[in-house]
């Protein structure tokens, strides 16, 4: 059995699901355009530089979830999927995922983006497992309470979350003949260095240079 792990944003998707969700909420009048776009630029520059404070980012991104009922959020999410996500799922990504699923590999999306946003995207790909950042929920009323619960699935946190998931299945890294992780970002180097076959997908400059130095495969899904 093989293990196939996929980053989501700018890897399986040709864009960023958090950015697209922000744009969707702006069009709905749910968030302020000027503030949202300024913060998006700030966080994106920090992400590219490898200096992103994941908790500051998540607290900002998850705040709109706290102001609306789950029923309203779910209805918006269906519209968001149709308008913003399906257009950025390319056939090459669908084909890659299908190859691993057909081979009966154990497949999971591993993403820093929260599971409320990414759950439906994971299901669209037919991938059975999602390791995403978990938004905290008030168990008394089911509403999101703001901020993450547990370890965010970001940088070294992706390793912690993947290993906890494998442990829950009675597995570990040595359980697999081969293990893959597909990503576009140098922020994913910790997890890429854990698998046997890291694959750089339309990589940023830092990851491209590292992949070239290490002899890793570089592909495009565009």
Region class of 6: left (phi > 0), else alpha (psi between -120 and 50), else beta: beta
Distance CA 39, CA 60 (A): 9
Q: Residue 28: CA atoms inside 13 Å, Cβ hemisphere, count?
A: 18
Asked if 6 and 221 count as a contact pair (C-beta separation under 8 A), the reply is: no
> DSSP secondary structure string, 191-202?
HHTTSSEEEEES
Q: Is 184 a catalytic residue?
A: no
| Known catalytic residue at 7 | yes
Cα separation, 27 vs 8, in Å, equals: 24
Residues 16, 9: contact at Cβ < 8 Å?
Answer: yes
Tell me if 19 sits within 8 A of 99, measured CB to CB.
no
Q: Which of 7, 18, 184, 188 is catalytic?
A: 7
Cα–Cα dist 203/208, whole Å: 5
158: DSSP letter? H
Annotated catalytic residue, options 9, 18, 105, 188: 9
The residues annotated with a catalytic role in the active site are 7, 9
């Amino acid at each position: 059995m093989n293990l196939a792990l996929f980053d989501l944003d700018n890897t399986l998707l040709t864009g960023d699901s958090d950015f697209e969700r922000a744009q969707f909420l702006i069009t709905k009048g749910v968030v302020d355009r000027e503030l949202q776009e300024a913060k998006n630029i700030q966080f994106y520059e920090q992400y590219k530089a490898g200096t992103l404070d994941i908790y500051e980012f998540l607290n900002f991104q998850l705040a709109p979830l706290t102001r609306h009922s789950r029923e309203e959020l779910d209805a918006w999410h269906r519209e968001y999927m149709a308008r913003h996500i399906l257009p950025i799922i390319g056939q090459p990504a669908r084909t890659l995922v299908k190859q691993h699923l057909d081979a009966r590999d154990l497949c999971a999306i591993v993403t820093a983006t929260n599971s409320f946003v990414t759950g439906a995207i994971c299901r669209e790909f037919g991938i059975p497992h999602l390791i995403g950042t978990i938004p905290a929920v008030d168990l008394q009323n089911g509403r999101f309470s703001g901020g993450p619960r547990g370890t965010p699935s970001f940088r070294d946190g992706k390793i912690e979350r993947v290993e906890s998931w494998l442990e829950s299945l009675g597995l570990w890294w040595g359980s697999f003949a081969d293990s893959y992780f597909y990503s576009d970002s140098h922020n994913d180097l910790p997890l890429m260095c854990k698998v046997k076959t890291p694959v750089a997908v339309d990589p940023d400059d830092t990851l491209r240079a590292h992949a070239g130095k290490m002899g890793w495969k570089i592909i495009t899904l565009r």
